[in-house]
Chain A
Amino acid sequence: MIENSDEELIARFQQGNSEAFEKLVGRYGTPLYRFIYRLLKDEGESQDLVQETFLQVYRNSSRYNPQYPFRVWIYSIASHLAINVLNSARRRRLIFFWNKSEHDQDHDQEQGIFSQEEVADTKKNPEEELSHQQMCASIQQAVNKLNPRQKLALTLNKMEGLSYKEIARIMDINLSSVESLIFRAKQKIQQELNKKI
């Protein structure tokens, strides 16, 4: 059976077919949850934001421009919602940064985008394994220190596999800005790692 493309499904939904909307939820619900969770690291908030994203799709389906891929449109909605949460969370962190304890940092690592347990299995040598785990933890800490826009651009590129062009559309910026955001993010990560070596 040939599967309908995203664009066909949204077009059918625009014509009043609610089954098409359900298919889009089935197709994008989990990927969007993972994407938002990678940015926010909060299960409840990620769930709320995915629900809000689909509500926006439902209400504004007539505003979808078929010239662009549906994926870019839905990630754009989710990204804007997530960046708002990240910005407000960052403001809260800036206010209370002096209260950040060692426990919180450990918690950040546990909830990070990298699974230390999963990737550790692939290593045979215990020393290598330890160093690999340390590397994962260090990168996770460095990612957590990125500003919201850098984090968003990096996540869209590395985790979601979106191109610079797609990210530019999602974030409503030009290609050169995307390149710059991703480069600065990676540079910061490298600087953080160099501090630990």
Chain B
Amino acid sequence: MRINHLRDRKISSLLDGEVSQAEREDILGHIDQCQRCREKLLRWEHIEQYLRHNKREIAPPSFFEQKILAHVHREVTTAAASTVAPSTAMGSTMRPYLFGLKFRFATAGLVALGIFLGTLMGAKLTALLVSEKEEIDIIAVLSSQDASSPSITELGLDFINGNGGETS
């Protein structure tokens, strides 16, 4: 004959008081008859006793209730204040936005710097090209002595004749 022993889960629920009255009677009836299930129940009961009764009653910090009330009061007051003055709430709510803004400013700054440096280099290059062109023009003036060619003064290069760069 096959005997159905109690499942551990059922014994656990019995010890937790979570079975119906009819179920409880059935289980206890079986335990009366079955040595194996009785031993099983004792093992579970042993752990159960430790879990239920050997707990430590930890004392909370002194003036704990006052601390709770003070904390709640502080938080609620701060929240109310930040509703009145939105700028104070920016710290928490606007932070992601501000971070995005900072990033945009930094990017814009870098782009502006790039443009500035580019312009500067472009100007220098132009100046170099102009000076090269002017040199060619001077050579042409000096070599051809052509009346139609622009004069040194007209070219703004009269300082090379010892005028000290002063315009007349």
**A34-B58, A37-B58, A113-B55 known; A51+B67 contact, CB < 8 A:** yes
Q: Within A170-192, which residues are at the interface with B (CB < 8 Å)? A: 179-180, 182-183, 186-187, 189-190
> Is A118 at the interface (CB under 8 A from chain B)?
yes
Q: How far is the CA of A1 from the CA of B68 in the complex (A)?
A: 26
- Say yes or no: A29 contacts B47, CB within 8 Å: no
**A183-B12, A186-B44, A193-B47 known; A113+B56 contact, CB < 8 A:** yes
**A55-B71, A58-B76 known; A114+B56 contact, CB < 8 A:** yes
Q: For residue B71, which residues in chain A have a CB less than 8 angstroms away from its CB?
A: 51, 54-55
> Is B54 at the interface (CB under 8 A from chain A)?
yes
- Interface size class, chain B: 20 to 34
- Say yes or no: B52 contacts A114, CB within 8 Å: no
> Is B75 at the interface (CB under 8 A from chain A)?
yes
Given contacts A38-B55, A115-B57, A179-B12, 10 further A-B contacts (CB under 8 A): A22-B65, A25-B65, A34-B58, A37-B58, A51-B71, A55-B72, A158-B51, A158-B55, A180-B9, A182-B16
Q: Within B110-156, which residues are at the interface with A (CB < 8 Å)? A: none
26 A-B residue pairs with Cβ-Cβ distance under 8 Å, sorted by A, are A25-B69, A29-B65, A30-B64, A38-B55, A47-B67, A50-B68, A51-B67, A54-B72, A58-B72, A59-B76, A112-B56, A113-B56, A114-B50, A114-B54, A115-B56, A118-B54, A118-B56, A154-B51, A157-B16, A159-B55, A179-B12, A179-B18, A180-B9, A183-B12, A186-B12, A186-B51
- Say yes or no: B43 contacts A136, CB within 8 Å: no
- Interface size class, chain A: 35 or more
Q: How far is the CA of A158 from the CA of B18 in the complex (A)?
A: 13
> Is B23 at the interface (CB under 8 A from chain A)?
no
Q: Which of B12, B51, B60 contacts A30 (CB 8 A)?
A: B60
> Is A163 at the interface (CB under 8 A from chain B)?
yes
Q: For residue A47, which residues in chain B have a CB less than 8 angstroms away from its CB?
A: 60-61, 64, 67
B-to-A contact residues, CB < 8 Å: 8-9, 12-13, 16-18, 43-44, 47-48, 50-58, 60-61, 64-65, 67-69, 71-72, 75-76
> Is A33 at the interface (CB under 8 A from chain B)?
yes
Instruction: Closest A residue to B71 by CB, please name it.
Output: A51
Q: For residue A182, which residues in chain B have a CB less than 8 angstroms away from its CB?
A: 12, 16
Q: For residue A50, which residues in chain B have a CB less than 8 angstroms away from its CB?
A: 60, 64, 68
> Is A70 at the interface (CB under 8 A from chain B)?
no
- Say yes or no: B68 contacts A186, CB within 8 Å: no
Q: How far is the CA of A40 from the CA of B51 in the complex (A)?
A: 17
Q: For residue B60, which residues in chain A have a CB less than 8 angstroms away from its CB?
A: 29-30, 33-34, 47, 50
Q: For residue B47, which residues in chain A have a CB less than 8 angstroms away from its CB?
A: 139, 186, 189-190, 193
- Min Cβ gap A39→B in Å is 12
- Say yes or no: A26 contacts B56, CB within 8 Å: no
Q: How far is the CA of A26 from the CA of B69 in the complex (A)?
A: 10
